[in-house]
């Protein structure tokens, strides 16, 4: 069975009446699968109004092709900062990359909740399963196969926790067991061709979705939504803020939010992060965002 067929089955099981749509490959294929399953989800996207990202033309093209209603939330600085504050409380971390990206998802899911959406689908898992990130496309095939299998044992997607906090059930068709099984059966050499990740996904969806969407480069959520501008904004707000650990920039501001919310975390004795003391996993600290390679 092909990936499009498996996604349609997964979408039917998910039964979403909403979809977070960026106009990227993963969310667009999920929207396509929902429509093929006989569903008409409402599409949601968040943009940072002072500095919008690259998503809008692509998501509108997908919405037109699939005849989906679209709601875009144009978030101002106050909206974004409030979302950041709430996400710190939900995720219990002060990692700038995670908080900034998930703040955009928080606003989109929050809008869906206000409009009565009960279940929303995301494209989570597509990049991890089919080598969507640039660094994965540079890995040797054998190493990439092992890495992807390892990822499936420890991956985490914030939309699920955010959805629970906002009263919206989140589903991710790419995480459906049949889709995961299929993805793991595909050799890495078919996932990356000439440095292009998710090649097998692109090839199978070419002709089913607009071509410029199918072959669109990977843009992180913070880029597609414009929320990457928040790093500078948060760093500005960190000026003059006191901290009892050596965090800097956006992380310093987020740490102040973390502490203000009365949150705490356990330090690790075996593999402590040199910045915050939390446990390092393969050189990465999920709590503060430190990466030591």
Query: pLDDT (tens digit, 9 = 90+) per residue, 79-104?
Result: 999 999 999 999 999 999 999 999 99
Residue 93 has a pLDDT of 98
* Secondary structure class of 206 (helix, strand, coil): strand
Q: What is the pLDDT of residues 41-65, one digit of tens each?
A: 999 999 999 999 999 999 999 999 9
> Among residues of the chain, what percentage have pLDDT more than 90?
98
The DSSP string of 80-108 is HHHHHHHHHHHH----HHHHHHHHHHHHH
Residue 251 has a pLDDT of 98
- Rounded CA-CA distance 111/291 in Å is 33
Return mean pLDDT, the chain. 97
Residue 188 has a pLDDT of 95
Residue 238 has pLDDT above 70, yes or no: yes
Residue 292 has a pLDDT of 87
- Rounded CA-CA distance 46/82 in Å is 14
Helix axes 96-114, 77-91, angle to 10 degrees: 110
Domains of the chain in sequence order: 3-224 (3.40.50.620)
Please list, in sequence order, all residues whose beta carbon lies within 8 angstroms of the beta carbon of residue 195, skipping any fewer than 6 positions away: 137, 138
pTM equals: 0.95
Residue 84 has a pLDDT of 98
Residue 293 has pLDDT above 80, yes or no: no
CB hemisphere CA count around 94 (13 angstroms): 30
Give residue 246's pLDDT band: very low, low, confident or very high (50, 70, 90): very high
> What's the full length of the chain, in residues?
293
Residue 174 has which token pair? 């790419």
Q: What is the pLDDT of residues 66-85, one digit of tens each?
A: 999 999 999 999 999 999 99
Determine the average pLDDT of the residues in 165-179: 98
Determine the average pLDDT of the residues in 247-263: 98
* Secondary structure class of 67 (helix, strand, coil): coil
Residue 9 has a pLDDT of 98
CB 118 within 8 A of CB 169: yes
- Rounded CA-CA distance 253/250 in Å is 5
Determine the average pLDDT of the residues in 270-284: 95
Residue 236 has a pLDDT of 97
Strands 70-75 and 119-121: unpaired
Distances (CA, A) of 123 to 38, 114, 239, 248: 18, 21, 36, 32
């Amino acid at each position: 069975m092909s990936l499009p067929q498996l996604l349609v089955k997964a979408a039917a099981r998910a039964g979403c009446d909403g979809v977070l749509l960026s106009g990227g490959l993963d969310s667009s294929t999920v929207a396509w699968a929902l429509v093929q399953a006989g569903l008409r989800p409402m599409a949601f996207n968040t943009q940072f109004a002072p500095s919008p990202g690259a998503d809008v033309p692509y998501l509108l093209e997908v919405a037109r092709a699939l005849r989906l209603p679209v709601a875009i939330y144009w978030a101002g600085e106050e909206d974004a900062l409030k979302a950041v504050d709430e996400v710190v409380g939900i995720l219990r971390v002060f990692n700038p990359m995670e908080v900034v990206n998930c703040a955009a998802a928080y606003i989109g899911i929050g809008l869906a909740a206000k409009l009565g959406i009960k279940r929303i689908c995301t494209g989570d898992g597509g990049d991890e399963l089919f080598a969507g990130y640039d660094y994965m496309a540079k890995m040797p095939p054998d190493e990439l196969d092992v890495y992807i299998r390892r990822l499936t044992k420890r991956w985490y997607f914030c939309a699920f926790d955010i959805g629970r906090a906002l009263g919206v059930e989140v589903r991710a068709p790419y995480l459906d067991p049949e889709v995961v099984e299929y993805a793991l059966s595909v050799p890495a050499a078919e996932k990356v061709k000439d440095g292009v990740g998710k090649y097998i996904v692109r090839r199978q969806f070419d002709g089913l979705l607009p071509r410029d969407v199918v072959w669109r480069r990977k843009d992180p959520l913070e880029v597609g939504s414009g929320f990457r501008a928040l790093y500078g904004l948060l760093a500005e707000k960190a000026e003059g803020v006191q901290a009892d650990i050596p965090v800097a920039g956006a992380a310093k501001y987020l740490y102040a939010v973390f502490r203000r919310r009365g949150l705490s975390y356990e330090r690790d004795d075996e593999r402590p992060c040199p910045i915050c003391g939390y446990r390092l996993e393969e050189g990465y600290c999920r709590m503060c965002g430190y990466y030591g390679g």
